[in-house]
Structure 1
Amino acid sequence: MSLRRTLRQTMTVARRDFVATVFTPIFLLFLFAPVIMGAFGAVGGLGAASVADDSAGKARVVAVLPPDQARIMTEADKRLRTAFRRDEAPPRLLTLTPAADPERQARAAFETKDYDAAGVLYGPLDRPTVLFGPLDRRTARYLGILARETLVDQRLGADVPTVRVEEVRLTRQGASRGGRNQSAFLAVFGVFFLTLFLAGQVVGTMAEERNNKVLEVLAAAVPLESVFLGKLLGMFGVAVLFVVFWGTIVGQVGGFLPPALGAAMSELTPAIGGPAFAVLFFAYFTMAYLLLGSVFLGIGAQASTMREIQMLSLPITIVQVGMFALSSAAASRPDSWIATAAELFPLSSPFAMAARAANSAAIWPHVAALAWQALWVGVFITVGARLFRRGVLQSGSGPGWLSRLRRSPA
């Protein structure tokens, strides 16, 4: 009977917080925040892309060669460029007829305003000299390869063999190691992004209700642990609504992806399988939210002013980024000591175990990990409630330990 009553009180607090958050005009702004962020990011990206395209359009690799060798090098350049992606290809080739002093002519190419020389080749093709800028070593090596191809074509002439390649696209039946590692990193990033975007609001909610004396009224009617857990579940319900809304939209947009991009996405196959991975990803997002949210609840309950909440924002973000960095390292090195450490440490465990689901097909570690994480959720909620009871309620809603720490003499 006591357990049933506790659950009912917890769900009452959760429902109260969920309704108070969702049924407000501000929630629509929160729900469409990714669109606003994406719009600003697109504007900045378009500006950066236009600058990059303008710079790339003026860049050139220059070869100072006689006309007959320049013609052969141009053909070799066209042939070699088919091996590069568009964004990875070297700058366009420009050939110049040698003057009386080729070295001086090559150095002058870097000073001209007609184009931006990334590298300039001059001299005999069997021992050419290549001038390049501080960040253009790859361009210099490409010019060296181009010189060799030109020399081979020139010497062989009509005897250059023609190679006709039959290209056959192969679809893997299972996940490749590279695909598993990429899936693991995307899983870590997905959990990190969602918790970073959604869990931080718990701090402000707790501090606001404490400042308005609402938290003390709830604590007088309901056990404090139920208040903390109920508020955490209520805000988690808001987070789930956000994820379901945007997950549905992204799922519909996925049908319009180009075939080539769809084929590339097919390589990102988790080792545990697609359906099981989706379930585990949601479970670990839940645990990451509850773990970080319970910590933030305990800290936010100690903050009595907006200034203290702002002071907490940076440490909270640093903690989240630290967990992301640790789990990313674990994702790239499965079964290493750093992976084990990330899987055992409570705050990084959901991130690291989501990566493990992409790297390993074993099920039992996830059962143990979810139980381990649930245990720490209970520990954090209990500790946060006791700190609030001792630091705030017993002092007549006075300043929490954050305020006392800030006001204590050095």
Structure 2
Amino acid sequence: MGLPKFSRIWLIAMRDFMGYVKTWGFWLSFMFPILGGVIGYMFASSDIDLSPPRYETVLDETGVHGAAILDFYETEQSDIRAKAIKAMAALLPEADREAFRTSVDEDGYEAGLSELRDRYPTVAERIEMPTPSMIFVDPPENSLSALTSYLDGDDRLTVGDESPRLNGVIVIRGTVDDPEAQYWSKNFNSPPAERLINRYFSDLAKRRYLESGGLSAEDYDEAVSGRTRVELFNPAELSGEDEAEAVSMLDRLPFFAGLGLAFFLLMSIFAGAFMLLTSMIEEKMNKLLEMMLASTRFSEIMLGKMLGAAMLTFASLAPYILIALGGLIGFLLFGNPEQVAAIREAFPLSTILTSLIFLVLGYMFYASILIALGALAQSMQDAQTLSLPIVLLMFLGIGVIQFGAVAPDSPVVAFASIFPLTSPFAMMIRLASDPPLWQVLLSIFLLATSVVVVMWICARIFRFGVLSGSGVGAIKSWFRRVILRKAA
């Protein structure tokens, strides 16, 4: 028989690949992320604000709570700005990070911003201060009925050179000790002012309760902030009596990368499934497969179509892959040296190669089944019927990914990482937690063996479907005759 010739496999792959690449649909999907990035950059670099702040005002009959709500909101905004400034500490040298965070806590975000501009101007340039969701203005009228025209948009506010619309009115009635709060706005789905009022009165209730027992909210917050905090540790990092470092976000990156690769495999199978099924149906109906069999083998046709579908999937996802690789390369070249070293340590060559093995074997496993189903299908209706089991298997893979995301050490995930139908998805998630080597090798062996067996069976089905011209009807007839013992 001899081995399949790669030249024939490549010709079949290029024929299928170029057949789809020449279509408008492929280039529209290819250009979509690029156009999206260009449009996003244009919006980001322009003065267009897709979510402008809401203009709110307060009518306070108590004379106390209105001003207190505004102070409460300003305190929250200061805390948000302080967190944004403290987040930039990750870009500073490790020796200066803790001192910088302490300085922001003690002196405020403005002092931290000034320090960054003086000592680390390149870091300061990367700061994007969060935009407040609301801007409070003085009420243009002193009654709710008079403000109705502003809420309807008939009248406008005067704020500097702008004439914005009044989005909502906070009304505080009752007494200081027993207030009643209302919020009037045409946006009643989830307005930020309503959430602000609820947070304010929740904080007020806490303060009053603590003060009734002779306690202060500040002391309570200080006690809570100084509580014992739990740190996560990985026992694999423990060596002898030395203390290991707590788990950081960099330590979690391999886990997130495993999740991303598992989803990438799912996307690859879904993206290539339509091409494999439709190409098989078209070539079978047009008698092209019979012509190809005059000069090529079944194995060469199967491998060529699998390679063509893989190339098409890779080309379709190329913009996303290039963006991800560009960001990674840029970070490795210009990022914080300590973080770069940690990432390189978190992704050893063995983990990368093992993930690629599962990615390739998983694709070959499901692609073989799809080609066999395409050979049996005689119409798009048949293809939809036959592809249903594969879709169900894909949902099983999605379930494994979701379960592995919350419980990667579960016995169910451990079994799924060895079971061939789900091992490509589950094992890529488990690689981050350093599973036993024997489980990894067993999973690769079982998956590789399953790929060989499935490809052999699918080649038989492929030969049967193409040469005999049979399809779903033949399978139904065989089932009735052999299994049910009924006349066809």
**Counterpart in the other structure of 1:18:** 13
Which amino acid in structure 1 is aligned with residue 457 of structure 2?
V
Residues 13 and 231, structure 1, Cα contact 8 Å, conserved in 2: no
In the TM superposition, what whole-angstrom CA distance separates every residue of 1:352-404 from its partner, at most 9, and x where no partner exists?
Answer: 211112333654433322222222222222222222334552x3x2x412687
Which amino acid in structure 2 is aligned with residue 80 of structure 1?
E
User: What's the TM-score once normalised by structure 1's chain length?
Assistant: 0.67
Residues 64 and 95, structure 1, Cα contact 8 Å, conserved in 2: no
Residue 296 of structure 1 and its aligned partner are, at CA, apart by: 0.7
**Counterpart in the other structure of 2:70:** 74
**Counterpart in the other structure of 1:351:** 425
Residue 304 of structure 1 and its aligned partner are, at CA, apart by: 2.4
Give the direction of change, closer, same or farther, for the CA distance of 1:226–1:22 in structure 2 (3 Å limit): closer
Q: How does 1:51-200 map to 2 (within 5 A)?
A: 57-58=53-54, 60=56, 62=58, 64=60, 70-84=66-80, 91-93=134-136, 115-117=166-168, 122-124=173-175, 127-131=178-182, 135=190, 138-145=195-202, 147=204, 175-176=248-249, 179=253, 181-200=255-274
Residues 59 and 172, structure 2, Cα contact 8 Å, conserved in 1: yes
Of 37, 58, 61, the residue aligned with 2:32 is: 37
Residue 290 of structure 1 and its aligned partner are, at CA, apart by: 1.0
**Counterpart in the other structure of 2:360:** 286
Give the direction of change, closer, same or farther, for the CA distance of 1:43–1:248 in structure 2 (3 Å limit): closer
Residues 207 and 305, structure 1, Cα contact 8 Å, conserved in 2: yes
Residue 221 of structure 1 and its aligned partner are, at CA, apart by: 5.9
Of 306, 313, 330, the residue aligned with 2:404 is: 330
Of 391, 397, 400, the residue aligned with 2:471 is: 400
Give the direction of change, closer, same or farther, for the CA distance of 1:260–1:149 in structure 2 (3 Å limit): farther
In the TM superposition, what whole-angstrom CA distance separates every residue of 1:105-136 from its partner, at most 9, and x where no partner exists?
Answer: 9x989976654449765545655444466756
Give the direction of change, closer, same or farther, for the CA distance of 1:189–1:260 in structure 2 (3 Å limit): farther
Which amino acid in structure 1 is aligned with residue 75 of structure 2?
R
Residues 180 and 268, structure 1, Cα contact 8 Å, conserved in 2: no
Distance 2:310 2:262 in 1: 19
Distance 2:342 2:382 in 1: 43
Residues 202 and 235, structure 1, Cα contact 8 Å, conserved in 2: yes
User: What's the TM-score once normalised by structure 2's chain length?
Assistant: 0.58
**Counterpart in the other structure of 2:413:** 339
Distance 1:345 1:88 in 2: 50
Residue 330 of structure 1 and its aligned partner are, at CA, apart by: 1.7
Which amino acid in structure 1 is aligned with residue 427 of structure 2?
M
Residue 301 of structure 1 and its aligned partner are, at CA, apart by: 0.9
**Counterpart in the other structure of 1:385:** 459
Give the direction of change, closer, same or farther, for the CA distance of 1:249–1:112 in structure 2 (3 Å limit): closer
Distance 2:365 2:131 in 1: 42
In the TM superposition, what whole-angstrom CA distance separates every residue of 1:165-195 from its partner, at most 9, and x where no partner exists?
Answer: 9xxxxxx886547655544433332332233
Distance 1:140 1:12 in 2: 71
Distance 2:340 2:57 in 1: 37
Residue 322 of structure 1 and its aligned partner are, at CA, apart by: 4.2
Distance 1:40 1:128 in 2: 52
**Counterpart in the other structure of 2:99:** none
Distance 1:351 1:59 in 2: 49
Distance 2:149 2:356 in 1: 57
The CA RMSD measured in Å over matched residues stands at 5.3
Give the direction of change, closer, same or farther, for the CA distance of 1:273–1:251 in structure 2 (3 Å limit): closer
Residues 122 and 128, structure 1, Cα contact 8 Å, conserved in 2: yes
Secondary structure of 2:417 counterpart: helix
**Counterpart in the other structure of 1:302:** 376
**Counterpart in the other structure of 1:156:** none
In the TM superposition, what whole-angstrom CA distance separates every residue of 1:197-249 from its partner, at most 9, and x where no partner exists?
Answer: 23442222322332233333455666534542443245435545666786445
Distance 1:141 1:268 in 2: 43
In the TM superposition, what whole-angstrom CA distance separates every residue of 1:241-286 from its partner, at most 9, and x where no partner exists?
Answer: 66678644542355667x99999x9899699625444333332221
Residue 43 of structure 1 and its aligned partner are, at CA, apart by: 10
Distance 1:267 1:138 in 2: 43
Distance 1:222 1:144 in 2: 78
Residues 172 and 181, structure 2, Cα contact 8 Å, conserved in 1: yes
Distance 1:222 1:130 in 2: 79
Residue 294 of structure 1 and its aligned partner are, at CA, apart by: 1.0
Of 258, 268, 276, the residue aligned with 1:202 is: 276
1:251 paired with 2:308, answer no
Structure (1 or 2) with the larger CA radius of gyration = 2
Distance 1:355 1:222 in 2: 39
Which amino acid in structure 1 is aligned with residue 472 of structure 2?
W
Give the direction of change, closer, same or farther, for the CA distance of 1:316–1:197 in structure 2 (3 Å limit): same
Residues 343 and 353, structure 1, Cα contact 8 Å, conserved in 2: yes
Which amino acid in structure 2 is aligned with residue 338 of structure 1?
V
Structure 2 gaps of 5+ residues are 85-128, 154-164, 210-217, 226-244, 481-486
Of 232, 237, 243, the residue aligned with 2:306 is: 232
Which amino acid in structure 2 is aligned with residue 401 of structure 1?
V
| Matched positions, count | 379
In the TM superposition, what whole-angstrom CA distance separates every residue of 1:85-115 from its partner, at most 9, and x where no partner exists?
Answer: 7889764456769979xxx89x989976654
Residues 416 and 423, structure 2, Cα contact 8 Å, conserved in 1: yes
Residue 293 of structure 1 and its aligned partner are, at CA, apart by: 0.7
Distance 1:338 1:110 in 2: 60
Residues 290 and 377, structure 1, Cα contact 8 Å, conserved in 2: yes
Secondary structure of 2:377 counterpart: coil
